[in-house]
Structure 1
Amino acid sequence: MTIDFTNVRPYGDTSNDGAVQISFSLPVPYGEEAREAARQLTAKMGFAEPQVYHMADLGEGFTYFIVYGRCEQGIDYAKIQVPKLESEEMSFYEINAFIRERIGRKLIVLGACTGTDAHTVGIDAIMNMKGYNGEYGLERYPEIDAYNLGSQVPNEELLAEAIRKNADALLVSQVVTQKGVHITNLTELVELAEAEGVRERFLLICGGPRINHEMALELGYDAGFGPGSLPPLVASYIAQAVERKEQT
């Protein structure tokens, strides 16, 4: 099968059939009127031949829907350019050897969930000694002094601690994203660092389920890591970025 990368559409049963499945909730009571509301709304979204495949009563006047439809739009995949991390992923042993031989001192890394975010699963997966998915966390790296400050850490406190410890990198995890609170928290840290005149002292790195590298750059960070990122990927970037920084 030959794919036309200048006009890529969703793939369901056959190439370029545009078949999609979407799900959403509406603040309307369960019933046939709700079904028709979901169908009409999906049609207004631009999907052809919408069919409500499943609906469920959520109680208190809310209904959940799964709708099938057909997307008639395509995308020119050949023209897509996405900012990517400028680092090569290394193993646990390669990272430590790189730091020891190319930088010549231990790296200091602070991590935290900032603002009101109390979900530490992301930062713990990267920082904690036991790590995640078979990979050691940064606390296990002999060439990294890693400090996990935990959850609900004010940006002012994180920045002050980074200055006290003369940190090389700050890792900020944001799991809670309702009403764009992650954007607010991440932006505030950058603005504080700039106001204190210390932005260039640290690598600012963020991660979370709705974060990618492009978004991180737009917010003023050096790098962003999305869902599924493992400690070696983050540690590889930090080590190589610190070396580049010290060479300039």
Structure 2
Amino acid sequence: MTGGAVVRPYGDSTGDGMVQVSFTLPVPHDKRAEGAALQLAAKMGLEPALLVHARQMGDGFTFFVVYGRVNHLVDLSAVRVVERDFPLLSAKDVNAVVRRRLRRKLSVVGACIGTDAHTVGIDAILNVKGVAGEKGLEYYRELAVTNLGAQVSVPDLVASARAARADAVLVSQVVTQRDAHLQNVREMSAAFREALPAGRRPLLVVGGPRFDESMAAELGVDRIFGRGTTPREVASYLVHRLVPAASAARAGRVGSTRPAAGTGVAG
């Protein structure tokens, strides 16, 4: 290791390289299937590989958990992530900045689009009950929130955003089979570009557990949030992007803003 910048996985002891992986093979559960799982693990670089769990998953499929050692190193200095580049505000701060600078309520429309029926992510961000001890955006007095729920078509989302004069559109995508989340978001961003000129388009924010936060530009949206995102983080971002720039500097002096506990809309 060099100055703590290079690390290896930790299993039984520091730096032993031990990892645990799981996967499903399209074979019924028998000794041959277990041998196939160990062969795959070896080709993945696990040496030695130990089969710790195998269970039949319906007709002709078996789920495996394999434990073994890898020799790969991780160079922390080469890791690239999307860092939070805006101040993290309290609900009181957000309300004060919107009221004093925007002088109207900030309109937010949220939905799960396409066939996605998993509203846990969008509800965690928008509903009053919130998540992780934080109230959702409906709790913020200066935000006008419209939650359209699940399985909303892209045309309906665009129409609802126009009717609500949305400043921001929040979309949560949990279903990711065959990259459905990427296809849906690309369709949405294209629809908004076609329906509204650049100066009148709402801020497009998407979130979910399987998004790569660095793909915002590629997908045609303004921001991607991943796992663990909280309502407070989303509200702070909306203020950062939608309220006149002068508010950002002033926001740090409004009320008592606590430092971030971590980063990371939930899916």
> What is the TM-score when the length of structure 2 is the normalising length?
0.85
- 87-96 or 32-41: bigger deviation: 87-96
| Residue of structure 2 in register with 1:175 after alignment | 174
| Residue of structure 2 in register with 1:22 after alignment | 21
Deviation of the 1:239 alpha carbon? 1.0
* 1:8 maps onto 2:7 in alignment: yes
* 1:193 maps onto 2:192 in alignment: yes
* 1:66 maps onto 2:80 in alignment: no
Runs of 4+ with deviation above 6 angstroms: none
Question: Distance in 1 between the 2:168 and 2:86 partners?
Answer: 15
**Is the CA contact (8 Å cut-off) linking 1:135 and 1:231 kept in structure 2?**
yes
Question: Distance in 1 between the 2:235 and 2:87 partners?
Answer: 10
**Is the CA contact (8 Å cut-off) linking 1:127 and 1:148 kept in structure 2?**
yes
- 123-132 or 143-152: bigger deviation: 123-132
**Is the CA contact (8 Å cut-off) linking 1:21 and 1:66 kept in structure 2?**
yes
* 1:206 maps onto 2:206 in alignment: yes
Gaps of 5+ in 2: 248-267
Gaps of 5+ in 1: none
SS of the equivalent of 2:47 reads: strand
Amino acid at match of 1:93: K
Deviation of the 1:102 alpha carbon? 2.9
* 1:159 maps onto 2:158 in alignment: yes
- 238-247 or 40-49: bigger deviation: 238-247
- 18-27 or 70-79: bigger deviation: 70-79
**Is the CA contact (8 Å cut-off) linking 1:112 and 1:171 kept in structure 2?**
yes
| Residue of structure 2 in register with 1:147 after alignment | 146
SS of the equivalent of 2:232 reads: helix
Deviation of the 1:161 alpha carbon? 1.9
- 75-84 or 192-201: bigger deviation: 192-201
Question: Distance in 2 between the 1:19 and 1:136 partners?
Answer: 39
Q: Percent identity?
A: 46
Alpha-carbon distance change, 185 to 246 in structure 1, aligned in 2, over 3 angstroms: farther
Q: How many aligned residue pairs are there?
A: 246
SS of the equivalent of 2:98 reads: helix
Aligned CA RMSD, in angstroms, stands at 2.0
Deviation of the 1:3 alpha carbon? 6.7
| Residue of structure 2 in register with 1:99 after alignment | 98
| Residue of structure 1 in register with 2:229 after alignment | 229
Q: Larger RCO: Structure 1 or Structure 2 (Cα < 8 Å, ≥ 6 residues apart)?
A: 2
Question: Distance in 2 between the 1:161 and 1:101 partners?
Answer: 27
Alpha-carbon distance change, 246 to 183 in structure 1, aligned in 2, over 3 angstroms: farther
| Residue of structure 1 in register with 2:125 after alignment | 126
Alpha-carbon distance change, 24 to 237 in structure 1, aligned in 2, over 3 angstroms: same
**Is the CA contact (8 Å cut-off) linking 1:190 and 1:199 kept in structure 2?**
no
Deviation of the 1:244 alpha carbon? 4.8
